[in-house]
Structure 1
């Protein structure tokens, strides 16, 4: 038996690690110009470094979830943190754009070792009630990282140089490696199937209910990233006001703390519908209101919607996948990040209102998926 004290410490470690890991997805966004000036290249070359990171991070997400079935969740998380510390430090040492491409790619792979393994580790270690709350905390951290990662890198770059932002994160990962090695308890050894990983993933994708969950998953961080990117590109106020809109939006993430209670009281599918309703209302309001105060209120509502949806979808994926949850959550993490990585190019190409139309279409389509998911769940109960 693992003591309650150790489980609480484990929850804190996983949540904090999730924040710092996810922060590095967004660190380059506010400092593209500074890095481009350092290397004397066009800013688009640095944006390419962010795209490479996203590709290799997604590859890491796909690889490490199944690998944790073989090597164990704890070992993958701890080894991944040490590798992340080294690769992140190497990013800061990059002398030119080509070296940045290589180090950011390696960093992407190493950071990809956390999310799917942490989700599967949570299912292995915690009881359902505690697990839902932990998933809420981890995913709230992921959402907060979308803003905090940008704030940290821009603040450090303002006072020092862009390299120091990566040195800072490298030190954080190394400290988390030491703490995790000391505290994280071993989980029960996952059942190792004789069926190949590719075969299992094909089976998961063919499962209708999971496929609908994955379709919803793709839209979540895509919508989150595109929403803030669109605001950033169209906002005509001061930088301080834009900072306020982004920062205050974090208040919405507090709603995720009640996800477990909502799921227990009204069910996962009704919670999903509530999150979709909040998101749809906030997007519609964006068409009509553009003042700073209105955008702050809309930002809080929209972040609240995503904060509610992400842990709910993870809970559904974990339940529907059963013993194959590590691989299912690897696919989930891969699809979630793919959506996040495609959002900035989409926001760059489309006009502000067209981005809103796209997000509205996503949320309305998600209502359709949610309807069929709840119908399938009702049929399963009857049979």
Structure 2
């Protein structure tokens, strides 16, 4: 069986004049816009990992306590997905993306005004809600407006940009903070998002069904799929995936080997070490596609667990830890699309959109728990944290294995 290229169900193209060819969007400009917007938008999840120290010092807290600014964002982001999908169905991808960029520019700028840990946490939660508008609308736009033969590359580009935002935005945040302070990170991000909104309005096509699709049907389908045994196991495995990813990078910041955690240059190298994997893994999609989605999900999670364990052996070696984190990131990049594809296969065509929303919800619930996992295990030291994280990822691999279809 040939696996589907996406968990987003394709829609018929917008109709042109009678008898004319379908009015597909121009792939290049649309995907360039969506990928470019994904980096500062989705990257708000990760940029704060590079700011825990400066923010804690300025707000009278500690990096461990301030991990809640990451957790609050991630949990609100996860909840936002449950609403963003139906809103996209009601108003269309272009309107959802455009107004989502404007709203996120506003909430991002507000974070820079935080005067206490409590206000920073509350404002980050608000930011997470608005940021959730982009991903489901971007995937829906690809499914509705991009030529079928271009959709695999389009999905890879958008997904890759979202994942690449983790190291890119951490590196950018670290650099901006050194020059202008942590508040400038959010102000620069807000300006970039606001500038992207009119470009999105100009480049993206309106939905042919804007304003005519309902909200209730999408909400009603969610509970049934979420509690079916095999999809439920996959949703749980998904939570371990990004939870483990965020926990590892949080651990490097708050409890890493002293030679690394206190060295801005070493932290910059570690954050950049994931970039080659972001570039290389999409080019391996054809080779990886020879295996079923279930097999790739289990293998990716298992490799992620093993590579996390290996970080405990690297000591204070920046190069050694960077090499292991490169493998770790590659494993995450293999497992993530395999999990969403597996969920889509279990959901079936009628519920694939709902499955995608629940996948994103589960992923970012995990991302919210990840910083607390690292902070809670900080007393064990860096080596102890990564052993705990490896155990969580191994549990994810076992759940993904249990959820495999008999033919997978």
- Alignment TM class, shorter chain as reference: 0.7 to 0.9
Instruction: Give the Cα–Cα distance (whole angstroms) in 2 for the partners of residues 200 and 342 of structure 1.
Output: 26
Q: What is the CA distance between 1:271 and its match in structure 2?
A: 2.8
Q: How does 1:201-216 map to 2 (within 5 A)?
A: 201-216=222-237
Return the offset for 1:201.
Answer: 0.5
Choose which of 348, 356, 370 in structure 2 pairs with 1:329. Answer: 356
Pick closer, same or farther for the CA change 1:289–1:157 going to 2, 3 Å: closer
Matched, 1:110 2:130: yes
Shift of 1:247: 1.0
1:248 maps onto 2:273 in alignment: yes
Who is 2:18 aligned against? none
Q: What pairs up with 1:32-181 in 2 under 5 angstroms?
A: 32-40=52-60, 46-94=66-114, 99-126=119-146, 130-181=150-201
Judge conservation of contact 2:273–2:326 (CA < 8 Å) in 1. Answer: yes
Q: Aligned equivalents of 1:134 and 1:250: distance in 2?
A: 19
- 1:236-293 deviation per Cα after TM superposition (whole angstroms, max 9, x unaligned): 3242223212212221222431353135433323333442343243234234343333
Offset of residue 369 of structure 1: 3.3
Within 5 A, what are the aligned runs for 1:179-218? Answer: 179-187=199-207, 189=209, 192=213, 196-218=217-239
Match of 2:386 among 337, 351, 356: 356
| SS of equivalent residue, structure 1 residue 28 | helix
Q: How many residues are aligned here?
A: 377
Aligned residues of 1:19 and 1:138 also touching (Cα < 8 A): no
Whether 1:223 and 2:244 are equivalent positions in the alignment is: yes
Matches of 1:81 and 1:266 in 2, distance apart? 37
- Taking the aligned partners of 1:54 and 1:353, their CA distance within structure 2 comes to 25
CA drift of 1:101 comes to: 4.5
- Paired with 1:259 and 1:319, the residues of 2 have a C-alpha distance of 22
Partner of 2:294: 269
Within the candidate set 330, 334, 347, 1:308 is matched to 334
CA distance in 1, matches of 2:215, 2:44: 36
C-alpha change, 1:375 and 1:111, in structure 2 (3 Å) is closer
Query: Which structure's residues are more often helix, by fraction?
Result: 1
Check 1:275–1:133 CA distance in 2 against 1; reply closer, same or farther (3 A cut).
Answer: farther
Please give the TM-score of this superposition, normalised by the length of structure 1.
Answer: 0.86
Aligned residues of 2:294 and 2:405 also touching (Cα < 8 A): no
CA contact (8 A) 1:26 1:146 kept: yes
Stretch of structure 1 that moved more, 19-28 or 94-103: 94-103
Alignment deviations for residues 189-236 of structure 1 (CA, whole Å, 9 cap, x no partner): 499578644431111113333223212210111111112223332323
Hey, what's the Cα distance between the residues in 2 that align with 1:131 and 1:80?
A: 23
Distance between the aligned counterparts of 2:79 and 2:267, measured in 1?
33
Contact residue 177 and residue 185 of structure 2 kept, 8 A: yes
Q: Do the aligned partners of 2:71 and 2:369 also contact (CA within 8 Å) in 1?
A: no
Q: Which residue of the partner structure matches residue 369 of structure 1?
A: 399
Cα distance in 1, alignment partners of residues 200 and 266 from structure 2 = 38
Instruction: Give the alignment's TM-score, normalised by structure 2.
Output: 0.82
C-alpha distance in structure 2 between counterparts of 1:16 and 1:39, whole Å: 31
Structure 2 CA distance for aligned equivalents of residues 35 and 76 of structure 1: 31
Q: Residue 342 of structure 1 is aligned with which of 369, 372, 396?
A: 369
2:4 aligned partner = none
Residue in 2 that maps onto 1:381 = none
Separation in 2, partners of 1:368, 1:18: 31
Say if 1:133 and 1:260, in contact at 8 Å, map to a contact too: no
Structure-2 change in CA distance of 1:94 and 1:181 (3 Å): same
Q: Distance in 2 between matches of 1:286 and 1:153?
A: 24
